[in-house]
Amino acid sequence: MSEIPFRYDQVGSLLRPKELKEARKKFQNGLLTKEELTTIEDVEIIKVIEKQKKIGLKAVTDGEFRRRWWHLDFIAGLNGITVYDFVTTAFGITTEAQGTYVSGKLSYNNLHPFIHHFKFTKKHAGNDVVAKQTIPGPNMIYLDSFILSKQYNEKPVYSDKDGFVEDLIKTYQDVILAFYEVGCRYLQLDDTSWGALFDDRFRELIKNNGYDPDELIQEFGDITEKVLENKPTDLDITFHFCKGNFQSKWLYNGSYEMIAKRLFSIEAFSGFFLEFDDERSGGFEPLRFIGNQKVVLGLVTTKTPELEDKEVIKNRIIEASKTVPLEQLCLSPQCGFSSTHEGNKVTEDDQWKKLSLVIDIAKEVF
């Protein structure tokens, strides 16, 4: 079994420092050029990589510092995608947001900026830690940009669903190989779309758009398996799922039980990062469907600043080990700290304390 995911790991995004937030605002107001913004991003990413290494993380990221959203920036870089602005109340607050829809034939863009971004991260990570790359999973596009998209449904590009799915799979196969070719050996697919398949409100939306959410559970799994079909054997790909993470708010409600059997049967994943930080997550019973993959228990929340009790987390790990062998378990925060550029309602000090707590507990338990 590969060492990835690590016994103590992280999901990916980190709080944007004040300097970066100010620079991005100046750029939006035309007071900084793109090149000047990139220079500031470079400086802050180097700093945050060093900070991750200093506290002892074995996998480091760029904190997603170049992104506004955890998913849209990547999706927007693909061929055949259009981004639009709107106002949402989905997370219980009224806020500006962006969405995407399929507006042309979907394919990988050979000039996708994330490839260059990863090369920068890998260079500054050095040889003593692993540079981890996070991207949204394929079903994010299938659900949001195709199935539930008003814009797409008003002006469909594909004559049938099968043609789109075929292009979606090929696009992600190309994406995976592109990252591999520039040295990526730890890739994570963040795919919250599975939450819509057990959330009552979203299941109704899916039905209203002519799809059966129960059938989509199987199809989401089939698409993901085909995306991973040709992955190189020395590339570890993990899956991260949470029920939404936007300024300490969540999106989906419900239990993993409905999706667990299909999702956890995807053997090509090296591990699953799963949210278990509060009562909404439910118990560990759905983990009975796990095979030989690792399970990264997201027991430390990124939504609130209070530092968890070490003994409580240890006891929950032991509880989980009654379903999944201890040697397959790992520990991480439940999600990133800044899935969007605004970040969760925690401080940078809170963030580093929580990551350090994850490391301390994992060393003691594992």
Quick: pLDDT tens for 292-336: 999 999 999 998 999 999 999 999 999 999 999 999 999 999 999
Residue 52: its pLDDT value, please? 98
Q: What is the pTM of this model?
A: 0.93
Q: How far apart are CA 12 and CA 190, in angstroms?
A: 10
The β-bridge partners of 155 are none
Residue 248: its pLDDT value, please? 43
Residue 77: its pLDDT value, please? 95
Q: Which positions ≥6 away from 52 have C-beta within 8 Å?
A: 10, 60, 61, 129, 355
Q: To which residue do tokens 């799963």 refer?
A: 274
Residue 86: its pLDDT value, please? 67
DSSP state of 211: -
Residue 149: its pLDDT value, please? 92
Q: How far apart are CA 222 and CA 168, in angstroms?
A: 12
Residue 242: its pLDDT value, please? 80
Residue 325: its pLDDT value, please? 97
Q: What is the dihedral of CA 318, 237, 289, 317, to 10 degrees?
A: 10
* Alpha-carbon separation of residue 274 from 26, 44, 277, 294, 312 (angstroms): 36, 28, 9, 11, 18
Average pLDDT score, the chain = 92
8 A C-beta contact, residue 268 and residue 225:
yes
Residue 89: its pLDDT value, please? 60
Which ranges in the chain belong to alpha helices (H)?
Answer: 18-28, 34-55, 72-76, 113-125, 138-140, 150-154, 161-181, 200-208, 213-227, 257-263, 310-320, 348-365
Residue 284: its pLDDT value, please? 93
Below-70 pLDDT ranges, the chain? 1, 86-95, 243-252, 254, 277-282
Residue 252: its pLDDT value, please? 61
8 A C-beta contact, residue 99 and residue 88:
no
Nearest 5°: phi and psi at 136? -70, 150
Residue 267: its pLDDT value, please? 96
Q: ω into residue 333 within 30 of 0, thus cis?
A: no
Residue 95: its pLDDT value, please? 63
* Token pair of 345 as six digits: 């309602």
User: Looking at this protein, which amino acid is placed at residue 315?
Assistant: N
- 3-state SS assignment for residue 334: coil
User: Looking at this protein, which amino acid is placed at residue 69?
Assistant: W
